[in-house]
Amino acid sequence: MTATEDVATGLPVATFTDAMSRLVSGLAVVTTRQADGRPCGLLVSSICSYSVDPPSVLVVVDHASRCCEPLTHCAEFGVHVLGTAQERTARTFASRGADKFADVAWEWDGSVPRLCAVPIYLRCTATAVFDHGDHTVLIGEVTRTRVEDAEPLVFYRRLFDWRLRGNGAA
Ligand SMILES: Cc1cc2nc3c(=O)[nH]c(=O)nc-3n(C[C@H](O)[C@H](O)[C@H](O)COP(=O)(O)O)c2cc1C
């Protein structure tokens, strides 16, 4: 087994991103309604359970994301935790496509664009938002859930679904 070690001052970006790529993540699509009434959404790995009382999740959004502004000002947003059947959906929402919703089944749930056929759906009321560096931190209180058993879509060492492909644990 080989190991590398770096100290923090002037740490190269690649060193940091390589370290973080070894953190196993679930993946979710976060959606909301834009000011013009159209849906928007992006793929995130920065989703976690924030608190149980009240039931809340935390998401971190890059200022460069087109969804950042709508999410910063929204009353509600949706979190869709993906399963292995949604790898294509993951790639679509990680893209800068013009209409990411064109090829997925979705519907309005109040003001939230809800993707159909995902294993876990959380409807959230935005309760806190703040900027730090080049990202915005968004906390939402969960007001509705739908949960279905499915194999999770797992991101590890820059690969989707690494475990099922058996190529991630070098
Ligand atoms: C595996 C993976 C995880 C990602 N996680 C995040 C994230 O947590 N936050 C974020 O802002 N962008 C994340 N992104 C990047 C966005 O999905 C990507 O920039 C997207 O094009 C933004 O779309 P938009 O500009 O339409 O909002 C991730 C991308 C990938 C492939």
Assigned domain for 19 exists: no
Residue 39 lies in a domain: yes
User: What separation in angstroms does the CA of 133 have from each of 13, 65, 100, 139?
Assistant: 15, 14, 27, 17
Number of structural domains the chain divides into: 1
Q: Half-sphere exposure (CA, 13 Å, Cβ side) for 30?
A: 32
Please report, for the domain that includes residue 83, its CATH number. 2.30.110.10
84 lines ligand 1 (CB under 6 A): no
Q: Which helix (H) or strand (E) holds 20?
A: helix 13-21
Q: Does residue 69 fall inside a structural domain?
A: yes
Output the pTM of the full model: 0.93
Q: What range does the domain containing 127 cover?
A: 26-153
**Ligand 1 and 17: CB distance under 6 A:** no
Tell whether 40 is covered by a domain: yes
Residue 55 domain-assigned (yes or no): yes
Per-residue burial over 18-37, b = 16 or more CB atoms within 10 Å of its CB, e = otherwise? eeeeeeebbbbbbbbbbeee
Distance CA 20, CA 161 (A): 17
pLDDT at residue 137 in the model: 98
Say if 164 falls within a structural domain: no
Structure confidence at residue 164 (pLDDT): 55
Residue with tokens 């879509």: 153
Q: Does residue 44's CB lie within 6 angstroms of at least one atom of ligand 1?
A: yes
In a domain, 60, yes or no: yes
Pocket test for ligand 1, best of 43, 81, 87 (most atoms within 8 A of CB): 43
Going residue by residue through the chain (170 aa), what tens digit of pLDDT does each one get? 677 766 667 889 999 999 999 999 999 999 999 999 999 999 999 999 999 999 999 999 999 999 999 999 999 999 999 999 999 999 999 999 999 999 999 999 999 999 999 999 999 999 999 999 999 999 999 999 999 999 999 999 999 876 655 554 44
For residue 111, being part of any structural domain is answered with yes
